[in-house]
Chains A and B, each alone.
Chain A
Amino acid sequence: MGIIRTENLTYIYGEGTPFRHVAVDCVNVDIDEGEIVGIIGHTGSGKSTLIQHFNGLLKPTSGKVFIDGEELFADKSRLKEIRFKVGLVFQYPEHQLFEETVYKDIAFGPKNMGLSDDETDRRVKETAKMVGLGAELLEKSPFELSGGQKRRAAIAGVMAMEPKVLILDEPTAGLDPRGRDRILGMIKEYHAEKGTTVLLVSHSMEDVAKTVSKILVMNDSKVFMYGDRSSVFAKAEQLTEMGLTVPQVTRVFDRLRAMGIGFDDEVFSIDYAKDLVMRLLKEKRGESVD
C-alpha cells in the first residue's frame, strides 16, 4: 500500500445549487513512498482539487483518502497529525509570507507542529541552506527579498515541516528561466537527499519531463492515466488535445516517426534526443556498409 491512496474519491462543488460541479470524479490512485511524481492536466481538470484532499483541506464528498495507511477524516482528532505528514505548497506561495523576518516565516510551520525551539532552529537553518538562502537573508524581512528568493523562502517554510510527502502546485509559475531551473533543481535535490515522496503539479510538460519519474494525467475531473514518463509521452497527441503542450523535442520526434524514420523510443529530453539521433545514424551507416 502506497503513501497516498484514494478509493473512489469524488468531490462536488456547490451540491444542490445551479453551480454544481464535479471537480474530482471517482479517482483511484496509489502513489508509492519515495516516488517523484508529476501531476499534469489543464486548468479545471481537477488536479488542484485533488491535491487539496491529500492533506485534508478538502473533505471528500464520497470515497476515501489514505495517507501512510491511515484514513483521513476517520478520526477527527488525528486529522492535524496526519496533515503534518503531507506538506502542501500552493501556487504563488510567496503571497503567504507574513512574518517580520524570513527566519520567523520558515519557523511558522515547525512551531505550529509544537516542536522545540532547538529543533525548529535546526530545521529552519537546514532548509534555508537547502533552498539556497544565505544566513544573512534570514534576519531580513521577507518582503525585501527578490521574487525568486521569496518563492524559495515560502517553499522552505513547508519543507521545514519535514513532511513525508511534499506537494508543490505550479512552483515555477511566472519565473524566468533561471529562477525556474533553480526551483526545479532544488526540488530534485530535496528528493534525492531526503528520499521523501514529491508530487509536482504543473501544466508545463517540459518542467515535468525534466524532473519526475512518473506522471499522473488528470482530464475532465478523472485520472486519464498514471504511468512512467515514456508511457505518458507516448500519448502526446491525446495530451495536446487536452490542452497540454508536450515538449518541442517530443513533437519533433513524433513527426519524424510518422514520416517513416524507424524507432520506438519516446523522446522527452534533449539529451535523449541527441543520443537517439546518433544511434540512428550509426544504424544507418551500418546498413549502408552491408
Chain B
Amino acid sequence: MGNFIEIKDVTFSYVNDYDDPPTKNTVIRGVSLEISKGEFVAVLGHNGSGKSTLAKMLNAINLPETGEVIVDGMKTSDEARLYDIRKTVGMVFQNPDNQIVATVVEEDVAFALENIGVPPAEIRERVDNALKTVGMYDYREHAPHKLSGGQKQRIAIAGVLAMQPECIVMDEPTAMLDPIGRREIMNTIKQLNAAGVTIVLITHYMDEAAEAGRVIVMDDGRVIADDTPKKVFSKAEMLKAVGLDVPNVTELTHRLIDEGLDLPDDIISEDECVERLYELLKKG
C-alpha cells in the first residue's frame, strides 16, 4: 500500500489548436510528489508557475501527458474510476460565485450527492452535517447571491464536503475575499484538517501557507522546494527570486540577522517573533 496520493514524474501541456501549426505550452515539467492521508499541504508559486494545473491533475480534470497520478490506489487515467476519484478528491475554486449551481443554499450543497445518486434521506443528513461543519446551517434556505464572499465560499466547501471526500484541493479559495472572509475560510480549513481531511491549499498568502504542515513551492512547472514551512521560509532569498514573499516576521528577523544579531533564521510565527525579540530587548 503506497501513499494516498502519488504523483510520478508528471508532465502536462496546453495545446492551442487555433494556432497554425498548433502550439504547445508546457506548464508541468516533471513533477513527483507523494501526499499522505491527513496532511495539510500548501502550494506556493507565482501566477503561471503551474500550481493550478497540477492541482487539477489530482481529480482527473487534467490528465498527465506523461507519468501518472494515483489517488488512493486509482490511476486518474482510468476512466472507469473517474467518479470514484472525484468523490475522493473534492475541489474548491477561487471565485465563489462561479461554483454555486442552485438558487437555494441547501440545494447547492446537495448537488454532488444528487449526481452520485445518494438516497434522499441520506442526502438530507449529509447536507445538514456539511452545513453545520462550515457553520452555515442557519442559512440553508437562503439565496446564495445575497451572502458575503466568505459565506459563499463556505457553501462551496460544504458542497464538496457533502461528498465526504478524503481530500479537498483548494485553488486560491481566499484570493477574492476580504480579511474577515479569509479568516473564516482558514478556520474552516484548519477544522477540516483536524477532523482528518487531507488539505491541498494553493495560495498567494504566506501567512496562510505558514499554517500548513508542509509547503511546496513551484516555479516554471517544477517543484523547487518541499519542506516544513519553517525550512521553506528560511530560504527567503530563493522565495523572492521566484516572485514570492515571506511572512513579515521572517523578513524582519532575516534583516536583523544581516545586522549581526543572533536570532534563528526560521521564525515564521508572530508568537515566536515576539518571544525572541522580547528576550533580546528586555531590560537588565
On whether A and B touch (CB less than 8 Å), the answer reads yes
Contact: A274 with B281, CB < 8 Å?
no
Contact: B259 with A278, CB < 8 Å?
yes
Contact: B252 with A273, CB < 8 Å?
yes
Known contacts A173-B176, A178-B46; decide if A248 and B248 are in contact (CB<8 Å).
yes
Contact: B252 with A274, CB < 8 Å?
yes
Contact: A42 with B278, CB < 8 Å?
no
Assess whether A244 is interfacial by the CB under 8 Å rule: yes
Contact: A243 with B281, CB < 8 Å?
no
Residues of A within 8 A of B259 (CB): 274, 278
8 Å CB interface, B242-261 against A: 243-245, 247-249, 251-252, 255-256, 259, 261
Measured CB to CB, the closest approach of chain A to B15, in angstroms, equals: 17
Known contacts A248-B247, A281-B280, A284-B281; decide if A43 and B255 are in contact (CB<8 Å).
no
Known contacts A252-B270, A252-B277; decide if A176 and B46 are in contact (CB<8 Å).
yes
Contact: B204 with A176, CB < 8 Å?
yes
Residues of A within 8 A of B172 (CB): 174
Residues of B within 8 A of A245 (CB): 179
The interface centre, meaning the residue of A147, A251, A252 with most chain B CB atoms within 10 A of its CB, is: A252
The interface centre, meaning the residue of A43, A175, A206, A278 with most chain B CB atoms within 10 A of its CB, is: A43
Known contacts A176-B204, A177-B244; decide if A244 and B277 are in contact (CB<8 Å).
no
Measured CB to CB, the closest approach of chain A to B233, in angstroms, equals: 13
Residues of A within 8 A of B255 (CB): 270-271, 274
A268-290: CB near B (< 8 Å → 1, else 0) gives 00110110011011001001000
Binding site for A on B (CB under 8 A): 46-48, 94, 148-149, 172, 175-176, 178-181, 204, 206-207, 243-245, 247-249, 251-252, 255-256, 259, 261, 270, 273-274, 277-278, 280-283
Contact: A261 with B248, CB < 8 Å?
no
Closest residue of B by beta carbon distance from A147: B47
Contact: B243 with A177, CB < 8 Å?
yes
Having A177-B204, A243-B180, A274-B256, one finds 19 other A-B pairs with CB under 8 Å, namely A43-B181, A174-B176, A175-B47, A177-B243, A243-B178, A243-B179, A247-B248, A248-B248, A248-B270, A251-B270, A255-B274, A256-B277, A261-B282, A277-B252, A277-B256, A277-B277, A277-B280, A278-B259, A287-B283
Measured CB to CB, the closest approach of chain A to B11, in angstroms, equals: 22
Measured CB to CB, the closest approach of chain A to B32, in angstroms, equals: 24
Contact: A256 with B207, CB < 8 Å?
no
Contact: B281 with A261, CB < 8 Å?
yes
Known contacts A243-B179, A252-B270, A278-B259; decide if A43 and B149 are in contact (CB<8 Å).
yes
Residues of B within 8 A of A174 (CB): 94, 172, 175-176
How many chain A residues have a CB neighbour from B under 8 Å? 38
Residues of A within 8 A of B175 (CB): 173-174
Known contacts A259-B278, A274-B255; decide if A248 and B249 are in contact (CB<8 Å).
yes
Residues of B within 8 A of A260 (CB): 282
Interchain CA distance A274-B249 in the complex, whole Å: 11
Interchain CA distance A41-B261 in the complex, whole Å: 37
Contact: B245 with A177, CB < 8 Å?
yes
Assess whether A56 is interfacial by the CB under 8 Å rule: no
Assess whether A123 is interfacial by the CB under 8 Å rule: no
Residues of A within 8 A of B248 (CB): 206, 247-249, 252, 270
Interchain CA distance A247-B251 in the complex, whole Å: 13
Measured CB to CB, the closest approach of chain B to A242, in angstroms, equals: 10
8 Å CB interface, A123-176 against B: 146-148, 173-176
Residues of B within 8 A of A274 (CB): 252, 255-256, 259
Residues of A within 8 A of B278 (CB): 256, 259, 261
Residues of A within 8 A of B181 (CB): 43
